[in-house]
Structure 1
Amino acid sequence: MKTPTRLTRTALSTALTLALLPLASEAVSSRNAEYFERIATFPVYRNLGADEDASKQTVAEITAVSRDGRTLIYTDSPGERIGLVDIQDPKSPKPAGFVKLEGEPTSVAVHHHFALVAVNTSLSVAQPDGVLAVFDIRNPAQPKRVATLPMGGQPDSIAISPRGRYAAVAIENERDEDLNDGLLPQLPGGFLRIVDLKGQPSRWSTRDVSLTGLTEVAPNDPEPEYVSINDQDVAAVTLQENNHIVLVDLRRGRVLRHFSAGQVDLNGVDVEENDRIESVGALKGKRREPDSIAWVGPLLATANEGDYEDANGEEGGSRGFTLFDYNGQVWHDADVSMEHAFIRAGHYPENRSENKGIEPEGIASGSFRKQDFLFVGSERGNAVAVYDMARPWAPVMHQLLPAGMGPEGILPIPARNLLVVSSEEDSAEDGYRSTISIYQFGAKASSYPEIRSPDSQLIPWSALSGMVADHTQNNRLYAVPDSYYNASRIFNVDTSKTPAVIDGQIELRNAGKTVDYDLEGIAQAGNGDFWLASEGNGKAKPNLLIHTNANGEVLNEYALPADVAAQQTSNGFEGIAVAGEGTASRVYVAFQREWKNDTAGKARIGVFNPTNGEWGFVHYPLDPPVGGGWVGLSELTAIDNGQFLVIERDNQQGPAAKVKRLYRIDLNGVQPVAEGQRFPLVSKRLERDLLPDLQSTGGWVLDKVEGAAVDNQGRLFVVTDNDGVEDASGETRFMRLGAVAP
């Protein structure tokens, strides 16, 4: 279809400008680079009324901002409402309440002092319907509904043109995934509805643009998904299941261009869910199937989530993003680079390897202080990749921002130097909640990740559960992952760099074969051997002490005596430490919680003599839980003169987290005794409350503070376990907490 000459020349002129002036833009970026830093996390359940159950599901999916930049408006689909958040002080967001709707909100946008909310009111998938609800938000405390526009079908995305002339609504009329295995077509087909924003909302008129007859997959069932509008009033629309992109002239109400999003071959991806991150697979002819789309100057950026399995069982989604020009030519494709970046940051969801990997879904662009950025959100990796767009044909990853679970909406607010990310996964029962993360632009360095593997090699890691410092090498730690992954290993960590770098790994082997332990702690003996604690499950899997040499070869496994093992529960070995040399060497292991015959509120620390195989025990007094849950031990770290550091934590996260503490105990003069005797009770002294450290980055407080190490310079390091990004945000805190007092 022929493009109007004026529009073609505008697009080409803009493209040439970008092509001819990259060096100046890049110079600004390299000399004065600034970064985004998270300053607040708002759990959206805080918007619930005092008389409502705080565990009630409430979700933030798509977010918009008022014209003055002080109020966020987000869609809460399961609650059939929109929520509001006061961000006058973005570091301290405040709940501003809900507005009830007649159906499920799917998207929201702001035009002047009006909030436009797309609402799905369909009786069924086969009977799609919806409205555009318009609210006057000049008084954000009391939004006033001023108009309701019929949409003629089930709406999804909505966008406002930069010049404020038009709104465009993607009328998806989504398919029933349970009908005929979800195969297309499923009529009625969707379309694009244009709203002419002239005069008061009650006088706004609408026009429709047909999107049928354009695609190869299901030409009569386009299912438009997402829409973005440029400053020439051209709407770019993704037809996700049809793997297609359509450009629509909103002024004339007609299709200008359309093209397939194409296919890619991916090499170096994990395609098997086998409890290992192995990026050695290949995917051939993978349809991109873009979800969200954003204009970046004259280019179009798509997040290639994938959402459709065809009749041959082939599923789309290319695990990255693509930049197209106006004619559908590919300027850049992320290929596997974005997914590999998530692997290096510990954010790869191995449990999604046979599906769509990190699953990019949200995408947005924005200019902050002369730096042009592209933001790509990973629905399953729970982070947002930020790309420097100084050279649009060769984006460079600028930083990675941790988010809540299931980041969906990405909202740049350049006028206030803010970026807002809404994450929709919410389950009070499982301990995580839907959140809105707020980031501020202007930091002189990137604060995340705090630990990663290097660019020079792809070392997968995650779920760090124990840590120890090397006895002889400066700036060298060792860390272990827990049972989330098969093929147990020890990671080498270089702390001389910021972020710390996992620059190597030692795979554990027994008689030449890999082993699968639930490693919760690691210690190093004076000769360089390692001692590891593997937690049992209270059933067939025993608690074990594992002795390996420096190369990870298992020398011995030590189980508990039968009379001790008979007392076990599902909470077993956690931290481990080694003290003494030769026949005076002892291995100390912390038990997470009370066992069957332990006094309530007292967890045991076992002391093992490798020379004769004997065990003795002492009791450690646990802090009482605050507001629910339980409190237990998660790490044991030897320091000089018979003293140890102990991490004590509750199993709560977010605002419910209360007990995250580092204690010091002194075992000099304390004689461990055998099972069946009364264990001596050790005394403890608070070394550091870790809760302020966990809160310091403005994020969701993580529950699993799992590893601690004190290096040979007396510096303390503490790490959290991210649970392999399954039912967890994937964020790992690697905290440098200064010198430990003698």
Structure 2
Amino acid sequence: MLRIKTRYGVTAILFTSLIIGSPAMAAPILNFQKLWTYDAGNSVLDSYADQGVTDFDLAPEAEIVSYDTASERFFVINGREKGVDVLDKSGVKIATLDTSVMGSPNSVAVKNGVVAVAVENSANKQDAGEVWFFDAATASFTRKVTVGALPDMVTFTPDGSKLLVANEGEPNDSYTNDPNGTVTVIDLSTGVASATATHLGFGAFSEAAIEADGGRVFGNNNSATVSQDLEPEYITVSPDGKTAFVTLQENNAVAKIDLTTNTITEIQGLGYKDYTLPGNEFDASDKDGINGNLQNWNVMGMYQPDAIDSYVVNGNLYYVTANEGDARDYSGYSEEVRVKDLALDLNNNNIADSDADDTDNLGSPGGLSDGDFLLQKNGNLGRLKTTTANGDSDGDGLTEQIYSFGARSFSIWDENGNQVYDSGNLIEQILANQYSGQWADGRSDDKGPEPESITIAQLGQWMYALVGLERTNGVMIFDITDPTNPLYQSYIVEAGDLSPEGLLFVSLGNLAYGSGGYGYVAVANEGSGTTTLYSVSAVPVPGSLALFGLGMLVMRRYRR
């Protein structure tokens, strides 16, 4: 365990492990040192403590972070104050980009001195939203462009000639107004002043084809159209700027876009994770009295990724996903139900009763097998949240297969949507075995640690995935240089930082702060309203010292 004494007297914890690798090819271990933390809760508009209100009760203060290389400024979404906090390179707030006239900002991206902010329509979230453009150096507003309903994420192409917007198009709570999900491509090749927008929809795709490929179309008891049901969540653009991949989280799918023609070319269903397989064990209950009770269960997991990033290895394009999971749960329609409330037809006759103190079920009801009955007890699968939209294959009202939300993992896919790697139970296994203090057993019945954010850091020839775990308040680091064989490196936890939502890697030379190192990582934490900046240095691992050691701990004190 590496305990870092920060400049602010707060202890940051860095858990580091070395993994066996090829002696000649051992990836450098990334070392993180905190530089500063900005707390949006210190603003004068945010004095809620004496009102008995916690951060989680309100809109997120620090959701997404972006950076402008020229002005050396950070831009952090502050949904609570309906604006974007502008920070200097030392983490001091110097300005605010106010979007309150239109609504709350959901995402921010910066390229070539242009700041783009996705703003939802606060008067009616199902109406068209807007992208507001600002000058990064002066924080002055330049213009706005109308996009689709509920713009949730914005990102530039690598050269800055286009801005892509994921318009999620969520329904209202009663599900009486369900706008189309769309992707907007804004052409900035001739400048912001003359920007033009192209809106891409999903009307050309069929429900049958999407579901046959492992995706889902099911909204409002299957009454929603494909265009309404597909909800773009997050976007990554390939390094050459020619291809984009868009997560459709609730639909368990990814859309592929040809940016040379601005065309959605395919919907890639992601399929389902088989939790009966060795290496896919998971903790399904918050009432079994055991932290990290990882077991195989007759459950299929929907990957349902939130964040996505992409990279190229040996000329091949891959994308990586953080498989958080998400349910549709509205007053007008909800797919969410616990296993104990399902009418099952699984015939699980070999289920052991690990729940000695379960009082919900007093006897196996008629027509329900003993195995199915035991499965529904709280200490087994009874507490697990699942969906009514999948699993009844013959339409008889009985569930033949249980499907759960999210995969509690990160995955790597080739550009055609073929999975080349999934981390299986590795994230939960590491947390349970090494960092039990970070285990959130109250989330075991939901989606576990919820890998929500992901970004790729390239240091020389090495590629790393930084995976933000929303419910365990940390970031895991993996060497993904070989897409088929990622290796776990470390787990970063900063005291006081809760629910990492936005991750940003800034390569060396893009931030004039301090000396040495190879880059910088900024983490925006929506739960605590804090944004923390780390310097990142690479520690070479000689082949003779590449050790297996998930339990190897080192200690050092960092001083200013």
TM-score under structure 2 length normalisation: 0.69
SS in 2 for 1:170: strand
Alpha carbons 2:188, 2:196 under 8 Å: kept: yes
Q: After the TM superposition, which residues 461-472 of structure 1 pair with which residues of structure 2 at under 5 Å, given as runs?
A: none
Alpha carbons 1:300, 1:323 under 8 Å: kept: yes
Q: After the TM superposition, which residues 252-291 of structure 1 pair with which residues of structure 2 at under 5 Å, given as runs?
A: 252-266=261-275, 267-274=280-287, 275-277=289-291, 278-282=293-297, 284-291=299-306
Q: 2:134 maps to what in 1? A: 135
Matched, 1:70 2:79: no
Q: 1:385 maps to what in 2? A: 476
Matched, 1:337 2:337: no
Q: Return the offset for 1:285.
A: 1.4
Matched, 1:197 2:216: no
Q: Return the offset for 1:442.
A: 1.1
| From 76, 82, 101, the counterpart of 1:80 | 82
Matched, 1:238 2:247: yes
Question: CA 1:390 to 1:312, structure 2 compared with 1: closer, same or farther past 3 Å?
Answer: closer
Q: Return the offset for 1:697.
A: 8.3
Instruction: Tell me which amino acid in the other structure corresponds to 2:523.
Output: V
Alpha carbons 2:114, 2:134 under 8 Å: kept: yes
Q: 2:523 maps to what in 1? A: 421
Alpha carbons 1:28, 1:370 under 8 Å: kept: no
Alpha carbons 1:69, 1:413 under 8 Å: kept: no
Matched, 1:311 2:388: yes
Alpha carbons 1:29, 1:371 under 8 Å: kept: no
Question: CA 1:383 to 1:63, structure 2 compared with 1: closer, same or farther past 3 Å?
Answer: same
- Distance in 1 separating the partners of 2:48 and 2:72: 25
Question: CA 1:42 to 1:354, structure 2 compared with 1: closer, same or farther past 3 Å?
Answer: same
Q: Return the offset for 1:340.
A: 1.2
Q: 1:523 maps to what in 2? A: none
Instruction: Tell me which amino acid in the other structure corresponds to 2:254.
Output: I
Q: 1:469 maps to what in 2? A: none
Alpha carbons 1:36, 1:443 under 8 Å: kept: no
Matched, 1:395 2:486: yes
Q: Return the offset for 1:341.
A: 1.5
Q: 2:310 maps to what in 1? A: 295
Deviations 1:61-116 (A, max 9, x none): 011001237211011112211101112x4xxx222232221311010001211100
- Distance in 2 separating the partners of 1:115 and 1:390: 31
Alpha carbons 2:70, 2:113 under 8 Å: kept: no
Q: Return the offset for 1:28.
A: 7.4
Q: 1:96 maps to what in 2? A: 94
| From 533, 545, 550, the counterpart of 1:438 | 533
Q: 1:225 maps to what in 2? A: 233
Matched, 1:42 2:38: yes
Q: 1:712 maps to what in 2? A: none
Question: CA 1:224 to 1:324, structure 2 compared with 1: closer, same or farther past 3 Å?
Answer: same
- Distance in 1 separating the partners of 2:158 and 2:236: 10
Alpha carbons 1:192, 1:211 under 8 Å: kept: no
Instruction: Tell me which amino acid in the other structure corresponds to 1:302.
Output: T
Alpha carbons 2:71, 2:136 under 8 Å: kept: no
- Distance in 2 separating the partners of 1:31 and 1:323: 18
- Distance in 2 separating the partners of 1:697 and 1:340: 32
Q: Return the offset for 1:396.
A: 0.5
Instruction: Tell me which amino acid in the other structure corresponds to 1:162.
Output: P
Instruction: Tell me which amino acid in the other structure corresponds to 1:409.
Output: G
Instruction: Tell me which amino acid in the other structure corresponds to 1:165.
Output: S
Matched, 1:498 2:553: yes
TM-score under structure 1 length normalisation: 0.52
Alpha carbons 1:26, 1:391 under 8 Å: kept: no
Q: 1:112 maps to what in 2? A: 112
Instruction: Tell me which amino acid in the other structure corresponds to 2:388.
Output: A
Q: Return the offset for 1:34.
A: 4.0
Deviations 1:195-240 (A, max 9, x none): 0012231210000111242533322321111111112321100111
Query: Structure 1 unaligned runs (5+)?
Result: 1-24, 426-432, 447-452, 457-496, 501-692, 699-742
Question: CA 1:28 to 1:154, structure 2 compared with 1: closer, same or farther past 3 Å?
Answer: farther
| From 162, 166, 172, the counterpart of 2:162 | 166
Give the fraction of aligned pairs with identical amino acids, expressed as a percent. Answer: 24
- Distance in 2 separating the partners of 1:32 and 1:363: 20
Question: CA 1:84 to 1:445, structure 2 compared with 1: closer, same or farther past 3 Å?
Answer: farther
- Distance in 1 separating the partners of 2:27 and 2:320: 26
- Distance in 2 separating the partners of 1:270 and 1:499: 29
Alpha carbons 1:119, 1:132 under 8 Å: kept: yes
SS in 1 for 2:294: coil
Deviations 1:19-73 (A, max 9, x none): xxxxxx9777627544233332222224x24x86374967110110012372110
- Distance in 2 separating the partners of 1:388 and 1:342: 18
Question: CA 1:408 to 1:303, structure 2 compared with 1: closer, same or farther past 3 Å?
Answer: same
Question: CA 1:232 to 1:135, structure 2 compared with 1: closer, same or farther past 3 Å?
Answer: closer
Instruction: Tell me which amino acid in the other structure corresponds to 1:330.
Output: Q
Higher normalized strand content (fraction of residues): 1
Instruction: Tell me which amino acid in the other structure corresponds to 1:418.
Output: Y
Alpha carbons 1:122, 1:128 under 8 Å: kept: no
Instruction: Tell me which amino acid in the other structure corresponds to 1:82.
Output: V
Matched, 1:409 2:502: yes
Instruction: Give the length in aligned residue pairs.
Output: 413
| From 132, 143, 161, the counterpart of 1:147 | 143
SS in 2 for 1:138: coil
Question: CA 1:31 to 1:349, structure 2 compared with 1: closer, same or farther past 3 Å?
Answer: closer
Q: 1:349 maps to what in 2? A: 440
| From 154, 174, 179, the counterpart of 1:188 | 179
Deviations 1:561-590 (A, max 9, x none): xxxxxxxxxxxxxxxxxxxxxxxxxxxxxx
- Distance in 1 separating the partners of 2:68 and 2:48: 27
SS in 1 for 2:522: strand
Question: CA 1:279 to 1:191, structure 2 compared with 1: closer, same or farther past 3 Å?
Answer: same
Question: CA 1:29 to 1:435, structure 2 compared with 1: closer, same or farther past 3 Å?
Answer: farther
SS in 2 for 1:339: helix
- Distance in 1 separating the partners of 2:461 and 2:38: 29
Question: CA 1:117 to 1:171, structure 2 compared with 1: closer, same or farther past 3 Å?
Answer: same
Q: Which has the bigger relative contact order, CA under 8 A and spacing at least 6? A: 2
SS in 2 for 1:269: coil
SS in 2 for 1:338: helix
- Distance in 2 separating the partners of 1:288 and 1:53: 38
SS in 1 for 2:26: helix
Q: After the TM superposition, which residues 19-38 of structure 1 pair with which residues of structure 2 at under 5 Å, given as runs?
A: 30=26, 32-38=28-34
Alpha carbons 1:39, 1:697 under 8 Å: kept: no
- Distance in 2 separating the partners of 1:82 and 1:328: 35
Q: After the TM superposition, which residues 529-608 of structure 1 pair with which residues of structure 2 at under 5 Å, given as runs?
A: none
